[in-house]
A and B are shown apart, each in its own frame.
Chain A
């Protein structure tokens, strides 16, 4: 089915390098979210896009993290100058927005910073 897809599924990078993670939401979903899950922890909200509104960036942990979304389509999460503590599974979710709270998650990108 046409669920949320993310790429790459796995990414190993050296400390200090930049990485870009991609999310393709479900077609027609106006809301898009990025979360991360570090080992042994819960999902941590990073950023939220809703239509053409300004994104809610309140969860981004530092200015090394940024995300973009073009319209209601693909989103990219960029981490600059990666650190070992950035190692986590990065999950993207989309929803219909409005009164719908059910978010549909992608399989995630496992990022390992060595």
Chain B
């Protein structure tokens, strides 16, 4: 039962253009969503998060959008840079305001080309 789904295993974008990574979830109890970035042979690193009380959160080149009615979130990277090439994981938590386990998607491999 995959509660967090990233249906695109890979994405290729030209440098300078926008990258849009998508994520869908099924559990309506999820109230906090995060994106992690992972380079080969390294652990995932936190990128950006959003609470279910918001529909948008922006941090520099990264913006996360949340559509609760559609149970969908997306990560926008603009402009994309070659260093953004990595695997991006969407994660969700149903914690009651305390640290809780994260449910991860299967990841999307982003390749930013020159």
Contact = CB atoms under 8 A, between A and B. Distances in A.
Contact of A42 (B43, B97, B104): B104
Chain A: interface residue count, which band? 20 to 34
Interface stretch (A11-19, A62-70, A76-84, A101-109): A101-109
B101 A43 contact: no
A91 B93 CA distance: 18
SS class, residues of chain B in contact with chain A: loop
A112 B59 CA distance: 38
A20 B36 CA distance: 27
Contact of A48 (B32, B42, B101): B101
Contacts of B63: none
Contacts of A35: 104
SS class, residues of chain A in contact with chain B: loop
A102 B106 contact: no
Given A33-B101, A59-B101, A101 B95 contact: yes
Interface string B27-59: 000001010100001111110010000000000
A45 B103 contact: yes
Contact of B43 (A4, A56, A99, A101): A4
Interface of A: 4, 31, 33, 35, 40-45, 48, 50, 56, 58-59, 91, 93, 95-108
